[in-house]
Amino acid sequence: MKRSVRYLIISIAVLLTAGLAYLWFTFASSYGYTPPKGLPVIEDNVRHPVFVYGTLTHRWVRWLVMGRAGKAEPAELPGYRKQALNIEPSKGATTPGVVIHVNAEELRDLDRYERLGVRYERVKLTLKSGQSAWVYRLMEPALLDITEQIQE
């Protein structure tokens, strides 16, 4: 009995360590992502509004990605509808989400999280309030890959 409890505790510790290592590698480390050339320049000393509509609407995800949750303000993106991990233009539709204001380093953290230039593109769109904000949208090849995975 003692032996099986010890194995259970060791197994849980190994799984927890592996999970934390994965989260660190994916969201916090600079490994595994090299920004492609030709990405938009990020202005320093400027607050950047970012509209998020998926996992980044959760405080704990923002904290994990940027090191702080930040203040999130409810917002809507008119003319787009959420489709799985993406937003697509759709007349009359509105995508709910939140706006966060980030500094240049935090925007770079978000770019790494979204794999800017590899999986997502960052575009300026106008919110229902009239404010412009950065929005991450799936790039075409990534969109095709996800669509194929969903159909399988």
- Tell me the per-residue pLDDT of 30-45, one tens digit each, with 9 for 90 and over: 567 777 787 778 889 9
- Within 10 angstroms of residue 149's Cβ, the number of other Cβ atoms is 9
Which 8-state DSSP code applies to residue 81? Answer: E
Among the listed ranges 1-10, 31-40, 137-146, which one has the minimum average pLDDT value? 137-146
Element housing 18 (H / E): helix 2-23
Is residue 151 over pLDDT 70?
Answer: no
- DSSP code per residue over 103-144: -HHHHHHHHHHHTBTTTEEEEEEE-TTS-EEEEEEE-HHHHH
Mean residue pLDDT of the chain comes to 86
> Residue 113: which of 38, 52, 70 has the closest Cα?
52
CATH 3.30.1370.110 applies to domain 33-151: no
Nearest to 36 by CA among 128, 115, 130: 115
- Percentage above 90 pLDDT, the chain: 53
Per-domain residue ranges of the chain: 33-151
If DSSP codes are grouped into helix, strand and coil, which group holds residue 84?
A: coil
